Amino acid sequence: MELADYIRNVADFPQSGITYKDITPLLGNADAFQEAVTRLSNPLAQLGIQKVVGIESRGFILGASLANRVGAGFVPIRKKGKLPFQTLQQEYNLEYGTDCLEIHRDAILPGEKVVIHDDVLATGGTAAAACELVQRLGGEVVQVSFLVELSFLNGKEKIKQHPIFSLVTF
């Protein structure tokens, strides 16, 4: 199954000049969704993962599925102001602006092995911010995984100190 066939391009979203990679066709197809979860979870089986961190919002979908598949807890990293308990914050740059991520202060215990998952690796700013938050809590980032990597944006450079796994590369 070619998973790239289930990812559509949306021109000029969220702003002019950006081609958005829409994963909702993949999520809406039961076979493609299951295949993506299987391919993303297989490399994790031997890593002793204790937590899977999913980055808001599409990272939640596959991140929670991965956590369930490997028997790990799931931790959401959200945009500023969305989490109800005490948080740590990390600002970062996007290809079209800046933003801030937060994680609950008690979400990761020191020494826990963590996989961070997001839907798309673009410029790497979001993933780097998530890695920083996990490390500030004492977690060990053992892999950063993505459904889609936009290789022409060189996002790997910002997280190259961590193992990276991308299922589909454009």
As annotated, the active-site residues are 58, 95
133: amino acid identity, one letter: L
Distance in angstroms (rounded) separating the CA atoms of residues 32 and 25 = 9
Pairing of strands 73-79, 51-55: parallel
Is the separation of the CB atoms in 73 and 104 below 8 Å? no
Q: In DSSP terms, which residues pair with 113 in a beta bridge? A: 140
Asked whether the beta carbons of 116 and 145 are under 8 A apart, the reply is: yes
Cα angle, residue 61 at apex, residues 121 and 11 outer, rounded to 5°: 50
